[in-house]
Amino acid sequence: MKNLMLCTLGLLFTLNCLSQTSNEKNTQKEFMYFVYSDGNRVTDLSSQKQQLHIKKIGDYIQNLAKSGKLKDAQPLEMEGVLIGSKKGNFNEKSLNKDKKIISGYYHILANDMKEAIAIAKADPRFEEDGWEIMIRPIKKVKGIN
C-alpha cells in the first residue's frame, strides 16, 4: 500500500513537472540573434585557434539545444548579394566582406528580452574581440507566420 502511494505521488510529481515545462515552452518568445563581425574573425585565427573557437561555439549551441532554448543556429558564408529595386528595375551589389557583416545567426526561445540578452552574453565568442550580437524579437503577423 505504502509503495503504491509512493508510486502515485511520484507519477503526480512527474506529470506536474512535465506540465510546467510545457507551459514554459508555450509562454516563451522567439528571438533572432544576428551575429556581426568585422570581416571574417575566424579565418584570421590560426588553425588551432579556429578549431578551439568551433569547439566552444559547438558546445554552447549543444547546451542551448539541451535546455530547449535553441530552434536553429547556422554560420553564413562571407559572400552574398544585396538586391535592390528602383522603379521596377533590380540592381545587384556584391557584399563587402571586409566590413561589418552578419556571419551567422541563432533562432532562440526565451521568456523575455532580459533572458535573451543573458543567453547572448554567455556566447563564448565574446572571449575574442570583434563580435556583436543583435537581438531582435520575432513578430507574429497573421497570414505570414
Min dist CB 122 to another protein, Å, is 10
User: Does 47 contact another protein by CB under 8 A?
Assistant: no
Min dist CB 21 to another protein, Å, is 24
* CB neighbours of residue 5 within 10 Å: 9
Cα→Cα distances 77→74, 80, 83, 90, 127, Å: 10, 8, 17, 23, 22
Range 75-104, binding another protein (CB under 8 A): 75-77, 79-86, 90, 92, 95, 102
User: Does 17 contact another protein by CB under 8 A?
Assistant: no
Q: Which is nearer to another protein, 2 or 139 (CB)?
A: 139
Distance CA 139, CA 145 (A): 8
* CB neighbours of residue 37 within 10 Å: 21
Binding mask 21-40 for another protein (x = CB under 8 A): ---------x-x-x------
Cell 572571449 locates to 127
Distance CA 91, CA 75 (A): 26
Cα–Cα–Cα angle for 76, 80, 85, nearest 5°? 135
User: Does 46 contact another protein by CB under 8 A?
Assistant: no
Residues forming the site for another protein (CB under 8 A): 30, 32, 34, 54-55, 57-58, 61, 72-77, 79-86, 90, 92, 95, 102, 105, 113, 116-117, 120-121, 126, 129, 131-139, 141-145
